[in-house]
Chains A and B, each alone.
Chain A
Amino acid sequence: MDVVGFLVSWITLFSIYSILSISLNLEAGYTGISNFGKAAFYGIGAFFAAVISLSAFLMLNGLSYPLYSLETIISMGTLSKQNPILSILIFLFTVVLAFFVSGIAGYMVSYPTLRVGPAFLGITVLSFGELLRIFLRNFQPTGGTYGLAGIPHPFAFIQDPAVKDFMFMLVTLVILAIMYIFSEKFVNSPYGRIMKSIREDEIASLCLGKDVPKIKAQVLFIGSGMAGVAGALLAYYMGSINPDIFVPSLTFEVWAMVILGGLANNKGALLGAGIITFLNRASVILNFTFQNLPIDVNYIRWMIVGLLIVASLLFKPEGLIPEDPKSSFIWNFVEEKEPISLKKRMEETSKKVKFYIKKVFDWFAMGGG
């Protein structure tokens, strides 16, 4: 079995889904906005990136094929390899722009429902996503049900596919790191405190001078924008997209990640995304390895996801890594604690790691008993 290939594909998928789960965590975990339309904004980002990059390559080379045509797919194969800088520039440009396009879409869709209860927003966004998907299925310029294919990979100029995927993995990891740092900055600032106060009691927040609809709109802008970036990354990673990727069950997969990992904790969102994408990848590989099983392993994956959600809601409803109410820096200030230096933290971590390694060795030495 190709372990490295498995790890690369898992980490890429993990980064993409982590961006989604972090964005949902900002909305649902911190601000209490029940966004059931994550897939819609993910899809907007993906289709935006695909359309822009395909038409940019066609235009720059003076070709006038329709976006979905065999000629486009074939010509992309050669065109994307010609100019490395151009491919990467177009990639970065579309990823950044996908943030704003999806963000503005999220803002506009949620605008009419910001002043009413959370259920309205959830249902509106959910139905918007379904409408958009059905529209795209019947919209010929983006390929209808077939979607778009031949999306030029930013590292198409690299010959070895393993290196190409590895480079892409690094890029997604960097983007995930940026998103993670930004959302950590948000939630540990006074702005994050207001987000939490809106989650706890909207009316009390309004009566304490907070412009609740505005803050909810801003959070939806950021959250949808992040989902758009994830969608753009998915489009480049897969090379082809179609409207039926962005079904509501994808939204609930992201919800499962956040619930499993722990609402209102970004580390939990990462952990949840890690577990569920691992199951996803593992089931794909198992499917390849054992081809004559009586059932499809993919369905077992859904069972496991469902079981995990039920189990976590039963035994650990706050998630694997629960919210830490004293995470913000004010507690260091109030308790007059010295902030822990990076060196000390690394020493502590390595001590812990050594302890567990020793434990495992001991376990083996005991004969596994």
Chain B
Amino acid sequence: MQWAVAKVRDILRVENISKRFGGVVALDNVTLSIREGSVTGLIGPNGSGKTTLFNVVSGFYPPDSGEVYFMGNRITGLNPNEIYNLGLVRTFQNPRLFPKLTVLENLLVAAESKGENMTRSIIKRNWVSNEIELIKKAQEITKSIGLEEVKRSIASDVSGAHMKLIETARSLMNNPKLLLVDEPAAGISYSAAKSLFNYLLELKNRYGLTLFIIEHRIDILMNYVDYIYVLHLGKLLSEGTPEEVLNDKKVIEAYIGD
């Protein structure tokens, strides 16, 4: 019965995940869960396994042991594309755009189109109405995210800040439920980072998302998250509300050193 309750409240459950790369233990028995509709942060010093955790959850690496549940379904061992189509979307730390495609097409690739099937794609009638819907949706997103003036340009011609926005815009195309955001504020100014976080929260409310954010800059993150997990050397060091974590002696030690 306990599980049934958890199924309703937790969108993602990671149970006893371990991952080794040769002799390096990147993740050691990590267990965590994320509530639906929450904003959860994941912090930790460099090399603590944050991005590895994202890679395991999004299906990029298979875990050595442990299970991942998304909306009550086991997703361990599925391919990244299958996990994406379930509604679990990750973004990359450095935007990975398709440089020779236009910005609008970069968004359209992310959607699941009816013309994706090889045999269906030959006959335009099969997919054209679906395609027009997707274009409208992409245009809506570009308008709301502030990419209106660059949507016609080739993705390699836009500025770095726009690239980050395109990466976020793209992740909204397929009605995601959970967004794994990898260091959204890395390399941008304090005020820009703040407006980006405000924007992420706005998106969360508008599209009913759950956010799971890796961020190095704890000072910014603290104002936006409901719950924080701290990783250190592959182990879960601490968890709790921002105040609890900030006052945890173990966390301070891990960051400042012995």
Q: Interface of A with B (CB < 8 Å)?
A: 182, 185-186, 189-194, 196-197, 199-201, 203-212, 215, 218, 222, 323, 325-326, 328-330, 333-334
In the complex, B115 has a CB within 8 A of chain A: yes
In the complex, B205 has a CB within 8 A of chain A: no
Bound: A329/B105 CA distance, A: 11
Least distance between B178 CB and chain A CB atoms (Å) = 14
Question: Are B132 and A218 interface neighbours, CB within 8 A?
Answer: no
In the complex, B190 has a CB within 8 A of chain A: no
Partner of A190, one of B82, B102, B113, B170: B113
B32-64: which residues lie under 8 A (CB-CB) from chain A?
Answer: 58, 60
Write out the residue numbers on chain B whose beta carbons fall within 8 Å of the beta carbon of A209.
81-82, 84-85, 110, 112, 174
In the complex, B96 has a CB within 8 A of chain A: yes
Q: Interface of B with A (CB < 8 Å)?
A: 58, 60, 79-82, 84-85, 90, 92, 96-102, 104-105, 108-110, 112-118, 121-124, 127-128, 131-132, 135, 139, 151-152, 154, 170, 174
Bound: A209/B174 CA distance, A: 9
User: Between A and B, how many residue pairs show CB distances below 8 Å?
Assistant: 112
10 contacts between A and B (CB under 8 A): A185-B123, A190-B113, A196-B101, A203-B96, A204-B98, A207-B90, A208-B84, A323-B100, A330-B108, A333-B135
Which of A197, A208, A333 counts the most chain B CB atoms within 10 A?
Answer: A208
By beta carbon, the residue of chain B nearest A208 is B110
With A191-B116, A334-B135 as known contacts, state yes or no: A197 contacts B122, CB within 8 Å.
no
Which of A190, A199, A329 counts the most chain B CB atoms within 10 A?
Answer: A190
Partner of A330, one of B98, B104, B114, B174: B104
Question: Are A190 and B127 interface neighbours, CB within 8 A?
Answer: yes
Write out the residue numbers on chain A whose beta carbons fall within 8 Å of the beta carbon of B117.
191
Question: Are B109 and A197 interface neighbours, CB within 8 A?
Answer: yes
Question: Are B90 and A194 interface neighbours, CB within 8 A?
Answer: no
With A189-B115, A206-B79, A334-B139 as known contacts, state yes or no: A200 contacts B99, CB within 8 Å.
yes
Partner of B80, one of A189, A207, A334: A207
Question: Are A193 and B122 interface neighbours, CB within 8 A?
Answer: no
Question: Are B81 and A210 interface neighbours, CB within 8 A?
Answer: yes
Question: Are B98 and A200 interface neighbours, CB within 8 A?
Answer: yes
Question: Are A190 and B121 interface neighbours, CB within 8 A?
Answer: yes
Write out the residue numbers on chain A whose beta carbons fall within 8 Å of the beta carbon of B109.
193-194, 197, 205, 208, 210
Question: Are A325 and B102 interface neighbours, CB within 8 A?
Answer: yes
By beta carbon, the residue of chain A nearest B86 is A209
Least distance between A333 CB and chain B CB atoms (Å) = 6
Write out the residue numbers on chain A whose beta carbons fall within 8 Å of the beta carbon of B81.
206-212
By beta carbon, the residue of chain A nearest B60 is A207
Write out the residue numbers on chain A whose beta carbons fall within 8 Å of the beta carbon of B118.
186, 191, 215, 218, 222
Write out the residue numbers on chain A whose beta carbons fall within 8 Å of the beta carbon of B97.
200-201, 204
Write out the residue numbers on chain A whose beta carbons fall within 8 Å of the beta carbon of B170.
208
Write out the residue numbers on chain A whose beta carbons fall within 8 Å of the beta carbon of B79.
206, 211
Write out the residue numbers on chain A whose beta carbons fall within 8 Å of the beta carbon of B110.
208-209
Bound: A209/B124 CA distance, A: 22
Question: Are A325 and B101 interface neighbours, CB within 8 A?
Answer: yes
Least distance between B70 CB and chain A CB atoms (Å) = 14
Least distance between A179 CB and chain B CB atoms (Å) = 13
Least distance between B158 CB and chain A CB atoms (Å) = 13
Bound: A191/B123 CA distance, A: 11
Question: Are A330 and B127 interface neighbours, CB within 8 A?
Answer: no
Bound: A196/B109 CA distance, A: 10
Bound: A199/B105 CA distance, A: 14
By beta carbon, the residue of chain B nearest A181 is B122
Least distance between A86 CB and chain B CB atoms (Å) = 31
Bound: A215/B123 CA distance, A: 18
Question: Are A189 and B135 interface neighbours, CB within 8 A?
Answer: no
Partner of B98, one of A201, A215, A326, A328: A201
With A186-B121, A186-B122, A206-B81 as known contacts, state yes or no: A193 contacts B108, CB within 8 Å.
yes
Question: Are B139 and A204 interface neighbours, CB within 8 A?
Answer: no
A-B CB proximity, top 5 nearest: A190-B115, A191-B121, A209-B84, A200-B98, A189-B121
Partner of B127, one of A189, A194, A334: A189
Question: Are B154 and A325 interface neighbours, CB within 8 A?
Answer: yes
Least distance between A75 CB and chain B CB atoms (Å) = 42
Bound: A329/B129 CA distance, A: 12
Bound: A329/B110 CA distance, A: 18
Least distance between A33 CB and chain B CB atoms (Å) = 15
Bound: A65/B96 CA distance, A: 61
With A185-B121, A207-B60, A330-B131 as known contacts, state yes or no: A193 contacts B101, CB within 8 Å.
yes
Bound: A200/B109 CA distance, A: 12
By beta carbon, the residue of chain A nearest B117 is A191
Bound: A368/B5 CA distance, A: 90
Question: Are A196 and B115 interface neighbours, CB within 8 A?
Answer: no
Partner of B131, one of A186, A190, A200, A212: A190
Question: Are B80 and A185 interface neighbours, CB within 8 A?
Answer: no
Write out the residue numbers on chain A whose beta carbons fall within 8 Å of the beta carbon of B152.
326, 334
Partner of B132, one of A192, A212, A333: A333
Write out the residue numbers on chain A whose beta carbons fall within 8 Å of the beta carbon of B90.
207
Bound: A282/B199 CA distance, A: 65
Bound: A191/B131 CA distance, A: 11
